């Protein structure tokens, strides 16, 4: 955050605590500032707003961090497992953490142990996501285009709608689509 954003965040924070009927000390403002310095002003402002609307208690730094992390675009471990293609004909848009976690699960899948594979995936994925969030690393999405060319369209369109890939990237993945305006209108 730049200096004016830091000042504005401090004012929002003081106002937030006034809403909850309490005041911040200069020392607590410093603790907040040190805890929040790696997050963008926009993320902090949105997290404060969300917290005010959803909690009857004054926020702690960890509350805002959890809100920001939950809104970073990464699916939960169960959602991520469900997004993994089960055969080579299925297309998907996957995060780096999903691709890496799948390496831990693949040997178990090859042995036919779906339950152990799922558990290994979830553990690895959760660790990778926690590590990425602790270092404020943004999510990266990659296409895994299956053999079924017709199944690609819906997956790419949904990834664009969710902001996981840009429309420009989508056009490169589906060069056969000529009327993008119509395709995206049908979302």
Q: What is the pTM of this model?
A: 0.69
Q: What is the pLDDT of residues 76-106, one digit of tens each?
A: 999 999 999 988 889 999 999 999 999 999 9
pLDDT at 186: 53
Q: What is the pLDDT of residues 11-49, one digit of tens each?
A: 999 999 999 999 999 999 999 988 998 888 888 999 999
Q: What is the pLDDT of residues 115-143, one digit of tens each?
A: 999 999 999 999 999 899 888 788 999 99
Indicate the length of the chain as a whole number. 187
């Amino acid at each position: 955050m730049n200096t004016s954003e830091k000042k504005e965040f401090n004012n929002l924070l003081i106002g937030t605590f006034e809403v909850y009927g309490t005041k911040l000390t200069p020392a607590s403002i410093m603790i907040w500032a040190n805890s929040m310095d790696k997050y963008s002003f926009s993320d902090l402002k949105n997290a404060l707003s969300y917290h005010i609307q959803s909690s009857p208690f004054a926020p702690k730094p960890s509350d805002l961090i959890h809100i920001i992390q939950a809104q970073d675009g990464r699916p939960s471990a169960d959602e991520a497992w469900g997004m993994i293609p089960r055969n080579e004909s299925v297309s998907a848009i996957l995060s780096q953490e999903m691709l890496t976690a799948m390496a831990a699960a693949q040997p178990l899948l090859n042995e036919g142990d779906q339950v152990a594979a799922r558990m290994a995936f979830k553990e690895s994925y959760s660790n990778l996501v926690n590590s990425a969030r602790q270092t404020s690393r943004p999510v990266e999405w990659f296409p895994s285009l299956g053999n079924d060319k017709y199944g690609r369209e819906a997956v790419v369109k949904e990834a664009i709608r969710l902001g996981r890939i840009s429309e420009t990237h989508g056009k490169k993945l589906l060069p056969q689509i000529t009327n993008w305006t119509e395709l995206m209108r049908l979302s």
